[in-house]
């Protein structure tokens, strides 16, 4: 599956990832959702990089540049 720009698109929802990042980002739940378990655990340990890492992830998700474990973009809302 490809997104509007011809990049490989993930079957995961960008809206779901954005909501998870907004409400539970400090626990890295949005990273577990896309299959990035290692960085999800790291976010739990650092509490989302004290909020900075979560904010950056949230912005990247909204812009459509966030990738899942298999390097596919979360393009579909």
Q: What local confidence, expressed as pLDDT, does residue 23 receive? A: 96
Q: Number of folded domains in the chain?
A: 1
pLDDT tens string 37-58: 999 999 999 987 888 999 999 9
In a domain, residue 4? The reply is: no
Model confidence, pTM = 0.88
Is the backbone of residue 8 left (phi > 0), alpha (psi -120 to 50) or beta? beta
SS3 for 6? coil
Whether residue 1 is contained in a domain is answered as: no
Higher model confidence: residue 46 or residue 6?
46
Any domain includes 51: yes
Residue 59 is assigned to a structural domain of this protein? yes
Q: What's the length of the chain?
A: 77
């Amino acid at each position: 599956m490809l997104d509007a720009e011809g990049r490989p698109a993930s079957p995961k929802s960008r809206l779901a990832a954005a909501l998870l990042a907004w409400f539970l980002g400090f626990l890295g739940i949005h990273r577990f959702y896309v299959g990035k378990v290692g960085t999800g655990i790291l976010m739990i340990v650092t509490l989302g990089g004290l909020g900075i890492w979560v904010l950056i992830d949230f912005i990247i998700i909204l812009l459509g540049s966030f990738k899942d474990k298999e390097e596919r973009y979360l393009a579909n809302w």
